[in-house]
Structure 1
Amino acid sequence: MINDEAPTALPVRDEAQSVRASVVGRIFIGLLILAFAGVTGLFAPLLVMASDSCNEGDARMICSAGAQQIVGGLPVAAAFVAALLAVVGMGSRSAAGWGCLVAAPCVLVVSWVVSLGIAGA
């Protein structure tokens, strides 16, 4: 006995689910931030070499030991924090993930501005 009123089977789709543009964009932006963090962590501490021309009694800010420690350590710490923010931003699908991706380059830019300000003053 054949039941003509039986529901038909749903068609099988062979299409793979496409990657959303926001995921690709978030990963691309995160990788750019990681590259910027790497450049900051490697090269910004070299601004300490601005103190090479310091003489005894020099009043420039870079000539103090505290300022040299800030110029040497701040970019490394900022690069580490920015890399963490970038990884969290790439992995999160919420609005907080985008917030991390926006905050990371801001941290890096602030470290560059402060370091260049001290080294150039």
Structure 2
Amino acid sequence: MINNQAPAAPPVRDAAPPVQGSAAGRFVIGLLLLAFAGVTGLFGPLLVMASDNCFEGEARTICSVGGQQIVGNLPVAAAFVAALLTVVGMGSRGSVGRCCLLAAPCLLALAWVVSLAIAGA
């Protein structure tokens, strides 16, 4: 005797739910970015000391007043903006939070690259 009344097996679904970042992960990444912003804001302006060996008439960018102001102020401004982006990224979910958490280290790295380029050239 064949039982045609047997319950059917539930269908197998291939679509997995999308992976979302956890709040703890955003918090840890945010703390690391805030530490990086703090280091940038505290130690980045010290690159102005590269102008100590400047003499009158030197053509290097760090020997000009404008170059020294850029090297002194850019890391502080970048650290402030990156800290704001990090806090927004830690508090937001979705694409806005991810974009803020990705933009913060890019901004800090750009500030370091520009400051080091001016101080070293």
Q: TM (normalized to structure 1)?
A: 0.82
Which residue pairs with 2:9 in the alignment?
none
Counterpart CA distance in 2 for 1:21 and 1:83 is 20
Distance (whole Å) between structure 2 residues aligned to residue 25 and residue 68 of structure 1:
38
Partner deviation per Cα, 1:5-46 (whole Å, 9 max, x = no partner) = xxxxxxxxxxxxxxx861111110010000000000000000
Using the alignment, how far apart are the partners of 2:92 and 2:111 within structure 1? 25
Aligned residue-pair number: 102
1:100 paired with 2:104, answer no
Structure 1: tracts of 5 or more residues without a match: 1-19
The separation in 2 between residues aligned to 1:102 and 1:48, in whole angstroms, is 28
Aligned mates of 2:106, 2:96 — CA distance in 1: 15
Q: Does the residue aligned with 2:102 lie in a helix, a strand or coil?
A: helix
Q: Please report how far the alpha carbon of residue 93 of structure 1 lies from its aligned counterpart in structure 2 after TM superposition.
A: 1.3
Q: Does 1:64 align with 2:64?
A: yes
- Between the two proteins, what is the percent identity of the paired residues? 74
Residues in 1 aligned to 2:39 and 2:29: alpha-carbon distance in whole angstroms = 15
Q: Are the structure 2 counterparts of residues 94 and 21 from structure 1 closer, same or farther at C-alpha, using a change threshold of 3 Å?
A: closer
CA positional deviation for 1:118: 0.1
Q: Which residue of 2 aligns with 1:35?
A: 35
After TM superposition, which residue ranges in structure 1, 4 or more long, deviate above 6 angstroms?
none
Unaligned stretches of 5+ residues in structure 2 = 1-19
**Amino acid in the other structure paired with 2:81:** V
Once residues 35 and 63 of structure 1 are traced to their aligned partners in structure 2, the CA distance between those partners, rounded to angstroms, is 30
